[in-house]
Structure 1
Amino acid sequence: MKKVAFIALKYSSITSEPNLYTDLMSTFFENGHEAFVVAPTLEENDEISLNIEAGVNVLRVPTLRLFGNGLIKKGISNILLPYQYKRALKKMKIQIDFDLIIIPTPPITLISVALWMKKRSNAKLYLVLRDIFPQNGVDLELISKTGPAYRYFRKLEKKLYKKSDFIGCMSPGNVNYIKRHNPYMDFSKLHLLPNWEGLDTNERDESVTIELQERYNISNKVVALYGGNIGMPQQMENIIHLAESVQHLEDLAFLIIGWGSEKERIIAMAKEKKLKNMIFVDSVTRIEFSDILKIADIGLVSLNENFTIPNYPSKVNAYYKFKIPVLAAVDKNTDFGVEQEKIGCGFWSVSGDTKTFTENLLRLYENETLRKEMGQKGYEYMINNLTPKHAYERIIAQLN
């Protein structure tokens, strides 16, 4: 198995903004594979290009806007994406002779271009299952289970599971959910592929630490950090109510970094409640976010209480990497809380239960030794189980 293709919804710069998938493809390259990626351009007005990025061949394709759109525009963009990719592959005369093709969810629409490439290559198709759609759209009341959109995407989902040779799932709960709701499929293709995270080798720079603490006015404070998307799946009201319940603690600050469809509404809610302990920051570079993680004391996770699918928050790996204990409010159907207890990396409560969420926060806020112990356990779990090398080896093991 020599040539590997990855079809991406988003693929950032390997050198300046590494992420889950850039780390994975770099690991394939480092292990002697010819790695090829087809992905959107980095900027909206960029033209089609074929580049070598840290040894990986990357075909950059102009697409419609894929993020920050309304629901209808986002749906159209995702439906058109495989056709844009196929046209670009033909235009650039890419030789379709891969041994392995990897696609992630979201979006499930990538199945059409993946099957086109699979047929021409006689390749194996590996699905990295990170989003169970369309059911998550139903849970968030974005689409109706009786409507045409659901029927269309559910048909695609079934095709995706049926045609994939291997399906890597985030957790045991994900595996069991797919089995229960898709009895028609071959269960032997399902296996565990937990989220992974590259290690950080840079030392903490005290001058950077001081500058960040002064910039965000968090010097001499316990910092509870949330970094990531701010949308309906995250139900950020959990964190608003949490901050409100402890606003009397002047040395506890909530630093919220990211963007999303719900951000303006959440900021307005914090202002209405006159919460002075919340600091909102727009998205920052990965390098700067790593510096911020180094000064955080508690890592926050929040998931929508209406989820019936077992979502597993990928952001926890960044907390593990920097030895930050995890404080989570999650839905009843995820198995993340059970996993968190096994690792000993933090505390969790059911989303919407502000009382328990607050009690768990205070346990960490009041005990620095406990924070360090839990942060260390998360770190050790990550380096032993959740690096890109572990993900690579799990994928290769399926092929062998």
Structure 2
Amino acid sequence: MKILFLALTFPKIGQSSNLYTDLMEEFRDQGHDVFVIAPMVDVRVGLLNEDGINIIRVKTLPLLNVNPIRKGIANVLLSFQYKKAIKKYFLQEDLDLILMPTPPISLVDVAVWLKKKYSSKLYLILRDIFPQNAVDLKMITKGGLLYDFFRKKEKKLYEESDFIGCMSRGNIDYVLNHNKDVQKQKLHLLQNWQKVMPLFDGDKAALRKKYNFDNKFVIIFGGNIGLPQKLENILEVAKLYNENDEVLFFIVGNGTEKQKIEQLCIQMKLNNVVIMNSLPREDYQNIIAVANAGLISLSEDFTIPNIPSKSLSYFNAKIPIIAAVDRNTDYGTIIQDEIGAGVWAVANEPIEIKQKIDYLRANKTVCNQMGEKGYQYFVDNVTPFHTYSTIKRVISV
């Protein structure tokens, strides 16, 4: 097939990676002709070949780690910028499949234009239910002009998509319950995915010493530090421990709320919280391998079921997951009851979260068992090959 992927973030192949580079590499390896349109990297624009994948790099406004107003403007302009670049560089006579993830939904106009131009199929990878998530985080008001604008885009996206891959059963139910016109047969399960990384086989004791983990029970968090993660809840948990408890919260990442979280740590005099900048995936995976548990944090205000992709790095490292999440997601049930790879508690209940942490601290054997279950589930169900196979099967029916 000839495939065009509409990307919001797409690191340079070979230098870094994310779930979308993993998936496009899988399509390439399966013999398909892959094109990607994405923001520029290293000030390089135009049609580039990156390790066998044709990538149209486009100059855009900043899309990540900026305030909501700048981000909103950049996302609205993205559709026009991508369409202009496609006209200039995508000089193809045919196109079989358009792959579009959310966020952002603003690219729906480009997707629909391509679909009509080439009589292509449109596959929506639904990773973000917008604008409701922005309402939950009090970034926009339900019923306001911005909400109505993006809600129309969302409805158009569901209507025009031929296939919709959702992260969980809860996601499927939510979309159907809140969008009565959506055809049920379009929706199916498409879980988050990640390449299997080699397990760390170095000196774990030396690596723990390097990061001053010592004899501590290390709970690691990696990824975006923003409003959706609401790490203030985790700081409230950290406050419940004293130095003698030997519990360390190790946070790796960047985001719009990072500076705020760092300032709160100082104000709250939290010596058991360390915050580092983002790391390359391999380095980060090695640090995870010597941590004791992986942390998931979501705002308790969410009304939509979110499924964080960072779980896969924890699975890969064979460490149990501690999830502090809202009541509306099925993530906690999936992790704790279906996979058996961790525990969960309500995000704004610090005592409850501490109890779950203390349970893992006191049960090393249980931690090991959870780690093994998570790893086995990962390699058996959610690698890029599994995702590719699901997409290929669905569009072939």
Shorter-chain TM-score: what band? over 0.9
Deviation at 1:212, TM superposition (A): 4.3
- Contiguous gaps of at least 5 residues in structure 2: none
Deviation at 1:227, TM superposition (A): 0.4
Deviation at 1:63, TM superposition (A): 0.8
Distance 1:189 1:311 in 2: 20
Deviation at 1:215, TM superposition (A): 4.0
2:262 aligned with 1:267? yes
- What are the equivalent positions in structure 2 for 1:1-400 lying under 5 Å apart? 2-43=1-42, 46-95=43-92, 97-201=94-198, 203-206=200-203, 209=204, 212-340=207-335, 341-400=337-396
Q: C-alpha offsets along residues 335-387 of structure 1, whole Å, 9 cap, x if unaligned?
A: 01111121111110111111110010011112221111101000111111111
Verify the 8 A CA contact 1:255 1:280 in the aligned structure 2: yes
Verify the 8 A CA contact 2:252 2:276 in the aligned structure 1: yes
Deviation at 1:250, TM superposition (A): 4.6
Deviation at 1:88, TM superposition (A): 1.1
Q: Structure 2 counterpart of 1:299, which letter? A: G
Distance 2:36 2:233 in 1: 37
SS at match of 1:289: helix
Distance 1:93 1:199, change over 3 A: closer
Verify the 8 A CA contact 1:235 1:304 in the aligned structure 2: yes
Distance 2:332 2:90 in 1: 48
Deviation at 1:178, TM superposition (A): 0.3
Distance 1:174 1:345 in 2: 21
Verify the 8 A CA contact 1:108 1:156 in the aligned structure 2: yes
Deviation at 1:211, TM superposition (A): 5.8
Q: Structure 2 counterpart of 1:152, which letter? A: F
Q: C-alpha offsets along residues 154-180 of structure 1, whole Å, 9 cap, x if unaligned?
A: 000000000000000000000000000
Distance 1:344 1:250 in 2: 26
Distance 1:55 1:35 in 2: 8
Deviation at 1:94, TM superposition (A): 2.7
SS at match of 2:61: coil
SS at match of 2:85: helix
Identity %: 46
Deviation at 1:281, TM superposition (A): 0.3
Distance 1:164 1:94 in 2: 23
SS at match of 2:239: helix
Deviation at 1:69, TM superposition (A): 1.4
Q: Structure 2 counterpart of 1:222, which letter? A: F
Distance 1:249 1:380, change over 3 A: farther
SS at match of 1:232: coil
Q: C-alpha offsets along residues 111-145 of structure 1, whole Å, 9 cap, x if unaligned?
A: 11111111121110000000000000001110011
Distance 1:49 1:204, change over 3 A: farther
SS at match of 2:264: helix
SS at match of 1:110: helix
Verify the 8 A CA contact 1:101 1:114 in the aligned structure 2: yes
139-148 or 239-248: bigger deviation: 239-248
Deviation at 1:248, TM superposition (A): 3.6
Distance 1:202 1:54 in 2: 25
SS at match of 1:245: coil
Q: C-alpha offsets along residues 300-334 of structure 1, whole Å, 9 cap, x if unaligned?
A: 01111011111111111110011110001110100
Task: Name the Cα RMSD after superposition.
Answer: 1.3
Q: Structure 1 counterpart of 2:260, which letter? A: R
Verify the 8 A CA contact 1:216 1:279 in the aligned structure 2: no
Q: Structure 2 counterpart of 1:106, which letter? A: P
Distance 1:248 1:374, change over 3 A: same
SS at match of 2:111: helix
Q: Structure 2 counterpart of 1:223, which letter? A: V
Q: Structure 1 counterpart of 2:18, which letter? A: N
Q: C-alpha offsets along residues 68-111 of structure 1, whole Å, 9 cap, x if unaligned?
A: 21111100100111111111122225325210000000000111
TM-score by length of 1: 0.96
TM-score by length of 2: 0.97
* Count, aligned residues: 395
Distance 1:246 1:126, change over 3 A: same
Q: C-alpha offsets along residues 186-207 of structure 1, whole Å, 9 cap, x if unaligned?
A: 111000000011101254222x
